[in-house]
């Protein structure tokens, strides 16, 4: 989408919001916009250093025997969430 298309889309959305007489609808739009903005703030890519640190941590856990096998993990999930059987 080009910048002009995005601006036109935003203007169209703004017109629809301004024409609305429903407080309930406007509240929902406001909550959704805030929720999406907050979620976007929380998502940030890892740096290469962070990725390497996570890999090192996982390798250390494997070496220390702190990792579950697939069977052990499945058993824990089935115990915690019996309705998934």
What tens digit of pLDDT does each residue of 38-76 get?
887 777 888 999 999 999 998 998 888 888 888 888 898
Question: What is the model's pLDDT at position 67?
Answer: 82
At residue 84 the predicted structure's pLDDT band, cuts being 50, 70 and 90, is confident
Q: Does the predicted TM-score (pTM) go above 0.75?
A: no
For 38, the domain range is 3-84
Q: Alpha helices of the chain — where are they, by DSSP H?
A: 3-19, 23-42, 48-63, 70-80
Q: What is the overall mean pLDDT for the chain?
A: 89
Q: Six-digit token pair at 11? A: 């203007």
Residue located via tokens 């309930």: 24
Per the structure, the count of domains in the chain is 1
At residue 85 the predicted structure's pLDDT band, cuts being 50, 70 and 90, is low
Question: What is the model's pLDDT at position 26?
Answer: 93
């Amino acid at each position: 989408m080009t910048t002009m298309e995005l601006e036109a889309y935003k203007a169209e959305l703004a017109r629809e919001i301004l024409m609305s007489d429903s407080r309930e609808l406007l509240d929902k739009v406001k909550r959704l916009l805030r929720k999406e903005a907050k979620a976007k703030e929380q998502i940030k890519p890892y740096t290469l250093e962070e990725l390497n640190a996570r890999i090192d941590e996982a390798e250390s856990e494997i070496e220390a025997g702190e990792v579950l096998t697939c069977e052990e993990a499945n058993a824990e999930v089935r115990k915690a969430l019996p309705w998934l059987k």
